[in-house]
Structure 1
Amino acid sequence: MQYHVKGMDCASCVGKIERALIRMPGISEVQLNFATQKLALTLAPDAATDSKDIEKTIKRLGFDVSALTNQQADGDTDSHQSVIEDEHWWQTTKGKQVIGIGLLLIAAYVVSLIFPEYGKWTFIAAVAVGVFPFARKAFALALVGLPFSIEMLMSVAAIGALIIGEAEEAAAVVFLFSVGELLESVAADRARAGIRALSSLVPKTAILLDAQGQQRQVAATSLQVNDKVLVRPGDRVSADGVIVQGVSSLDESTVTGESVPIAKTIGDDVFAGSINVEGALQVRVEKTAANNTIARIIELVEQAQASKAPTERFIETFSRYYTPIVMAIAVLVIIVPPLLMGAEWGTWLYRGLALLLIACPCALVLSTPAAIASGLAVGTRHGMLIKGGHVMELVGQVSTVAFDKTGTLTEGKPRVTDVIGFKTVDGNAEGHDTLLALFASVDATSSHPLAIAIVDHAKAANVVIPESSNAFATAGKAVHATVAGRSLAIGSPVYVAENVMLLDEQQTQIETLQNEGKTVSVLFDDQTRSVLGLVALRDELREDAQQAIAQLQKMNVRSVMLTGDNSRTAKALASQLDIEWKAELLPEDKLRLLSEMQASGKIAMIGDGINDAPALATADVGIAMGSGTDVAIETADIALLKNRVVDMANLIALSRATMRNIHQNVVFALGLKGVFLITTVFGITGLWIAVLADTGATVLVTLNALRLLRFKTGSSN
């Protein structure tokens, strides 16, 4: 049996549902994925439990549940999206709850100013409305063996504050906790949006070719192995397959992340979602829609997000011990002295209530979110979008940062680095500007990224670009044009070597540039078959890349470059950065390497491409450059909106500062409570001092958290 569980936003939710279901007779093999909000389980045929019992139990825990159809359960992405409605945060149950409590709080403050005698009743109403869903969930969890959940902690805190007349404080605690729950839900939905965006990369339709070569438009999901499809210039490839006719260049950045299109010919593999840049192709389908490359990437992202357990919130863990101990102490304080020592009931009831007030975890509840909120605000101000408190905590524990190359360490687009002229048979060589003008003239009609880079470079250099005519392309190999009566062509070194005699010194020059990680384009005369010169291009490092790696080294954080590009280019760039590197990697290769590195510590992965999405989800912390694809940004835990590599070091420094602040806050909160717990039991301090102590701890925690707002980037904490 399979279900869609709405509101399952974290690993903690998974644990609660799993614990409840396992206790039900006849249920086994419970599998939950909070990233996709799917539940799968096995129900024995003769079990006393039925589907209604399952749904009732899940709803009692505070989640919405609906059975999946066979099509949805089998992983049809479009069908599954139909059960996930795109709601704004204020349209969700948690959003409505936050708005409702907030409005009641505002109303209570207004009423207390105008009619002080009625103000407390409005606060009590706010507490009753806000605490009810948490109390109901706490009771349901207690029935399945989790009596001291964070919901129980909040319920006890709110009710305890009401008992001693602190309705205003109780309402504030409930409101803050509701806001935290809402933010967690919003963050989880953003992650799910990333998975949904992946499916849009594969076209919905395909041009199917029948045995007679007739064209027919069909749904891409209907394609079967060995079908033949037509991929026109500018189209996305509709299925994984093999080229059986045609030559072209394909933009495979959806899979490899590399921006330069790859020349493809008969017998070469193509991936679903790739963009055909030039010539028409006929492709034989090798994999169905459910098994293509994009589908595999979606599956990898879902699996990685499901297995990534967020750091369990400190308050929830601590409450397992804190809440029952304090409640037990309060009960003992109230009944033991009167029963055993004949003490006055009124005195010890007063002390017990004061102790309950001290036990109210307002400062403790604020200790973490107040610091996290300040840290998130600082990060946002500096262009570092951090998706949640658990991410803020984890990034400071990172011991290794894995960098994608293209678009992360580099700018993500090729730039001209060298323009070199060669002497022809008459002993003359074209001048720099003349040669660049000829290159730009031939490339002017091409849409290839290398051609665009050359033309842009010529324009930036104020070179006059002559008009060309008779332009045509040898798909995936060369471009041709007539310039000032000369038949010229630009091609790759391999193509030129097959058609023109390259001199030894020319070949040596080309190899030298290629060993520096540069892509070389060669200009030659189509009539005289003589080589005129070359242009070298390279995707250059970002300006701050070297500074970022150096700062990470000072912070004792290891850096590794993982790229789908060739080894020669990777080695050249890595040598400039003094960084470890691995090249020619597919998405699954990156996952394997990350898993190996995770054995020795926390890993952060930073990338910008769709191909990086699985790695971003697999790493303990996934970080996307703001210039990257929507899928990478949605999947990642953090987005660097200013596209600065050095912000990786700033992130770690900010996280470490935030965690120090949290530890200080916990000491403040528990220290004051510990002192006044003792003084209250011995009658040294009374109810009003207890109120002051609790409020004082809250003020201290808040002021300390606000210190984080002065955090400066560029430190190596």
Structure 2
Amino acid sequence: MSNTTSTTAAPTTLRVQGMDCGGCERKVESALTRLSHVEHVSASSVTGSVRLTAPPGKTLQRAEIESTINALGYQVIDESVATPGAKESAPWWRTPKGRLVLVSGALLALAWALKFAWPSLGTWPFVAATVVGLVPIVQRAGQALKMGNPFTIEMLMSIAALGALAINAAAEAAVVVFLFAVGEMLEGVAAAQARRSISALSQLTPSTARLLEQGEPREVAAASLVPGQRVQVRPGDRLPCDGSIISGHSSIDESPVNGESVPREKAEGEAVFAGTVNLDGVLEVEVTRSAENNTIARVIQLVEEAQAAKAPVARFIDRFAFYYMPAVVGVALLVAVVPPLVSTMLWSESIYRALALLLIACPCALVISTPAAVAAGLSVGARHGLLMKGGAVLEQLGKLKRVALDKTGTLTAGTPAVTEVESLAADGSAADVLRLAAALEQGASHPLAIAISDYARQQMGEKIPIVQGARALAGQGVAGQVEGRELILVSPRYLQRFSQRSDEVEARIATLEAQGKSLAVLIEGERTLGLIALRDEPREDALRGLQALERLGVQAIMLSGDNARSVAVIAERLGIEAEGELMPEDKAQRVRQWQAQGLGPIGKVGDGINDAPALAAAEVGIAMGSGTDVALETADAALLKNRVSGIAEMIALSRATMRNVKTNVALALGFKALFLVSTALGITGMWVAVMADTGATVLVTLNALHLLRYRFNDIGA
């Protein structure tokens, strides 16, 4: 931690150790908001971080911010040596709050033992136990008061415990202080558990890499890798970087990054990602992204930014707590003063009830109920390749009524695949057509050429002949000599330029094109030898993903820039309403029209630059993880698995998270309402009030953490 007078560009995020509850968040936010160079503050006890923004024209003063946080009893952790949760993973008995529990518990037990052994000592052992346990609580209350925040749980606890001593309820005061310490310790344990589950992301990338220099491997820090360098990855090793395979082939387990359970076969030229596991082959990989920009780093950044962005329901609860605390203090004063003045109630009894009321009134459980659930939901999504940029996005996803999807690269794989190979010559075969066409397409970079070459290698291995005199026919096809034969491979629209007209051939071409397929026709002289049909096929899970959306009550519509015939064919196969031949601005206009008609909220899913306007126009824009950087940056969420079913998974996770939030709010408010009434009526006392408050806080936190075990089975069923 730096003590120098320095400045930090806004906005910035600081790691803060010691924040364990909603009360901690409010203290930090209240104190930092009073600084003239701070415009907005968002503290998260779940992630252990504080995000700050400076007003226009000003710069955040790092030194003053750190001193303010330190004055509240928390500690700013140096980002260069810290990962989320790393500093707070000590067992509970080694933490300051854990030690306070042990000391308070021991003193309370000793006080009760002395009471029974030497009754003549009176209440002094309990007074001593109360004072010792209360000292750190009073210190924290004083620190918050100096920062202009009198309404804290520590202040309420200090008033209640000292008041109990004043009315000769020392034994109860000692019990209250001990139970409060236990509650704070349990809150800390729950918060640390949440942070550990989140920080596990940062541990996916290995700390070292085998850098290749002049063909020899040398172990270096993975964080030092830069684009252009080459590394060796052995079987069983995690990939230390994002890169492209230069040599070798292997099965890659990508489940650490995107949750995909089936390993993927990777060969030369294919992309690999940091944190994935090389299973069975030695790979030489060229680094394509630096450590701070690789897949894992981008995931962590998105998750942290998401957790810093509070959901609307969380912002509402924060505003509610701001007014709730002073109101409760006012009610407690009335409970202490009014009854003795208008009835025969003793002052000691009314003051006791008022003190107990202060204890039960603290809204810790209510304030932590939403951010804990939202953080758990975001973490579960990230572990399964579902990235959402904030609690607001997570909340909005569950409300979607209509989702617009792009065709190419979203509902389809985005690359053409061979569907048919047909011979149209009496003396030929489909194998001959494929072999000769593949020979002509060798070395070509056009997507159709690549698809034909790949398919031929799969069917025939390395038995593809060599082409001689290969040449491109600009905009029409390719030509060359194969096995001494002069051959041409062209698009059907140029068929009549090179071959004799044939009604049978044209009828077959028309049939295949009506199915939304692209064709390549093989010609020798003026004779048509055969044709190859290709089509960008739907993703394997496209139909299943659309059916899951339907079960969730979300309407799916395809918006594509592709030709209407291809769009109609894919739409018919998937059973989805569709529009084709749309420009990027047309897609955005459709989204705005639906919004104006009250059909929203609208979600938009896409993967390309042409999808960016519609992604931005929709309430929730969702980018395929294989999409362009523009699409990923514009979108509110991303599907790292590139699966259509991930859309339904996001929506289902959102709804599960919001159910968890509602349950937490109901539990928190229910406990408060029940014990506020029973305490005001004198039915329950101080120690019950503290147990109810801390118990409710721990209960809602544990309920939120239950989301970490969320399963995506039978989505929408």
SS in 1 for 2:507: helix
For 2:158 and 2:88, how far apart are their aligned partners in 1? 16
Moved more, 488-497 or 515-524: 488-497
Structure 1 position 467, deviation (Å):
0.6
1:550 aligns with 2:547: yes
User: How many Å apart are 1:703 and its aligned residue?
Assistant: 4.3
Letter in 2 for 1:573: I
The match for 1:367 among 363, 366, 369 is 369
Instruction: Name the CA distance, whole Å, in 2 between partners of 1:673 and 1:414.
Output: 61
1:597 counterpart residue number: 594
Match of 1:79 in 2: none
**Structure 2 vs 1, CA of residues 310 and 710 (structure 1 numbering), >3 Å: closer, same or farther?**
closer
Are residues 1:460 and 2:458 paired? yes
Question: Deviation of residue 435 (structure 1)?
Answer: 0.5
Distance (Å, rounded) in 1 between the aligned partners of 2:523 and 2:383:
52
Of the three residues 112, 121, 127, the one matched with 2:100 is 112
Distance 1:420 1:177 in 2: 64
Distance 1:591 1:173 in 2: 46
Q: Is the 8 A contact 1:401 1:605 kept in 2?
A: yes
Query: What is the 5 A alignment of 1:415-454?
Result: 415-423=417-425, 428-454=426-452
Closer/same/farther in 2, CA of residues 640 and 158 from structure 1, 3 Å limit: farther
Q: Which moved more, 1:671-680 or 1:578-587?
A: 578-587
Give deviations 1:660-708, integer Å, cap 9, x for gaps: 2222222221111111101111111111010111133234324443544
**Alignment pair present for 1:160 and 2:180:** no
Equivalent residue for 1:6, pick from 8, 11, 15: 11
**Two-structure CA RMSD over aligned residues (Å):** 4.2
Deviation of 1:478 (Å): 1.7
Change (3 A) 1:126 1:500: farther
Q: Is the 8 A contact 2:89 2:192 kept in 1?
A: no
Deviation of the 1:459 alpha carbon? 0.7
From the superposition, tell whether residues 108 and 483 of structure 1 become closer, same or farther in structure 2 (CA, over 3 Å).
Answer: same
- The structural deviation recorded for 1:318 is 3.5
Deviations 1:238-281 (A, max 9, x none): xxxxxxxxxxxxxxxxxxxxxxxxxxxxxxxxxxxxxxxxxxxx
Distance 1:533 1:448, change over 3 A: same
Q: Which residue of 2 aligns with 1:311?
A: 312
Match in the other structure for 1:146: none
Letter in 2 for 1:477: Q
Bigger mean CA deviation after superposition, 561-570 or 373-382: 373-382
Q: Per-residue displacement from partner, 1:98-142 (whole Å, max 9, x unpaired)? A: 99999999641364377658676556667777x68xx96xx6xxx
Distance in 2, Cα, partners of 1:320 & 1:66: 23
1:543–1:602 CA distance, 2 compared to 1 (3 A) = same
Aligned with 1:563 (options 560, 564, 571): 560
> Residue 615 of structure 2 contacts residue 634 of structure 2 at CA under 8 Å; is this kept in 1?
yes
Deviation at 1:452, TM superposition (A): 0.9
Matches within 5 A, 1:111-150: 111-112=99-100, 121=135
> Is the CA contact 2:318–2:367 (under 8 Å) kept in the aligned structure 1?
no
**What is the CA–CA distance in structure 2 between the aligned matches of 1:472 and 1:383, rounded to whole Å?**
44
* 8 A contact 2:491–2:519 mirrored in 1: yes
Matched residue SS, 2:613: helix
Q: Which residue of the partner structure matches residue 286 of structure 1?
A: none
1:412 aligns with 2:408: no
Displacement after TM superposition at 1:68 (Å): 7.0
AA in 2 matched with 1:542? R
State whether residues 151 and 326 of structure 2, in contact with CA within 8 Å, keep that contact through their aligned partners in structure 1.
no
Partner Cα distance (1:552, 1:646) in 2: 8
* Change in CA separation of 1:479 and 1:107 when aligned onto 2, cut-off 3 Å: same
The residue that corresponds to 1:534 in the other structure is 531
How far residue 406 of structure 1 moved from its aligned partner, in angstroms, is 1.5
Contact 1:613 1:635 in 2 (8 A): yes
Residue matched to 2:488: 489
**How far did residue 409 of structure 1 move?**
0.9
Aligned residues with identical type, % of pairs: 42
After superposition, give the CA deviation of every residue in 1:563-615 in whole Å (9 maximum; x if it has no partner).
12111111110011111112222322221111222232211222222332333
1:104 touches 1:125 (CA, 8 Å); kept in 2?
A: no
Structure 2: 5+ residue runs without aligned partners? 1-8, 15-33, 42-51, 59-75, 108-131, 161-176, 199-305
Q: Note if contact 1:310-1:390 (Cα within 8 Å) is conserved in structure 2.
A: yes
For 1:457 and 1:6, the matched residues in 2 are separated by 51
- How far does residue 472 in structure 1 lie from its aligned partner after superposition? 1.9
Over 3 Å counting, the alpha-carbon distance change for 1:616 and 1:698 in structure 2 is same
| CA positional deviation for 1:501 | 3.7
Structure 1 residues 58, 611: closer, same or farther in 2, change over 3 A? Answer: farther
Q: 1:60 to 1:711 in 2, by over 3 A?
A: closer
SS of the residue corresponding to residue 38 of structure 2 reads helix
Separation in 2, partners of 1:323, 1:595: 42
Residue 443 of structure 2 aligns to which amino acid in structure 1? T
Q: Aligned-pair distance for 1:471?
A: 1.4
**Aligned AA for 1:488?**
L
Q: Report the CA distance shift for 1:634/1:126 in structure 2 as closer, same or farther (over 3 A).
A: farther
Query: CA 1:316/1:660 → structure 2, altered by over 3 Å: closer, same or farther?
Result: same
Show the counterpart of 1:34. none
Structure 1 counterpart of 2:289: none
* Alpha-carbon spacing, 1:588–1:171, altered in 2? closer, same or farther (3 Å): farther
Distance 2:151 2:422 in 1: 75
Q: Report if aligned partners of 2:311, 2:391 keep a CA contact under 8 Å in 1.
A: no
Distance 1:403 1:334, change over 3 A: same
Q: 1:607 to 1:670 in 2, by over 3 A?
A: same
Q: Which amino acid aligns with 2:349?
A: T
How far apart are the structure 2 equivalents of 1:177 and 1:113? 17
The residue type equivalent to 1:365 in the other structure is V
Q: 1:680 and 1:506, CA in 2 relative to 1: closer, same or farther beyond 3 A?
A: same
Task: Measure the CA separation in 1 of the matches of 2:310 and 2:559.
Answer: 24
Q: Are residues 604 and 633 of structure 1, via their aligned partners in 2, closer, same or farther at CA, if it must alter by over 3 Å?
A: same
| 1:82-97 matched pairs, under 5 angstroms | none
Q: Aligned partners of 1:626 and 1:66: how far apart in 2?
A: 34
CA contact (8 A) 2:186 2:698 kept: no
Q: Cα deviations across residues 336-393 of structure 1 (Å, max 9, x unaligned)?
A: 2344447544433332232122121122123223333443344344433333333222
Instruction: For 2:38, give the aligned amino acid.
Output: K
When residues 92 and 328 of structure 1 are mapped into structure 2, their CA distance, relative to the original with a 3 A threshold, is farther
Q: Secondary structure of the residue that 2:312 maps to in structure 1?
A: coil
Corresponding residue for 1:388? 390
Distance 1:59 1:317, change over 3 A: closer
Q: Distance in 2 between matches of 1:623 and 1:370?
A: 24
Worse overlay, 110-119 or 320-329: 110-119
Q: TM-score, normalised by structure 2?
A: 0.62
Change (3 A) 1:533 1:700: same
Partner of 2:582: 585
Q: Distance in 2 between matches of 1:643 and 1:61?
A: 36
Which string of whole-angstrom CA distances, capped at 9 and with x for unpartnered residues, describes residues 443-493 of structure 1?
Answer: 002111211110110010126211111112133332222111222222222
Superposed, 1:88-487 pairs within 5 Å as 107-109=95-97, 111-112=99-100, 121=135, 156-157=152-153, 159-164=155-160, 165=177, 166=180, 311-313=312-314, 314-319=316-321, 322-341=324-343, 343-423=345-425, 428-462=426-460, 464-487=463-486
SS in 1 for 2:460: coil
> Aligned pair in 2 of structure 1 residues 176, 702: CA closer, same or farther (>3 Å)?
closer
Q: Which residue of 2 aligns with 1:74?
A: none
Distance 2:38 2:79 in 1: 15
Q: Which amino acid is the alignment partner of residue 112 of structure 1?
A: L
Counterpart CA distance in 2 for 1:97 and 1:336 is: 50
Q: Quote the residue 1:210 is aligned against.
A: none
Name the structure 2 match of 1:288. Answer: none
In structure 2, the CA distance between the partners of 1:605 and 1:163, relative to structure 1 (3 Å rule), is farther
Between the aligned partners of 2:609 and 2:79, the Cα distance in structure 1 is: 29
1:113 & 1:57 partners in 2: Cα distance? 38
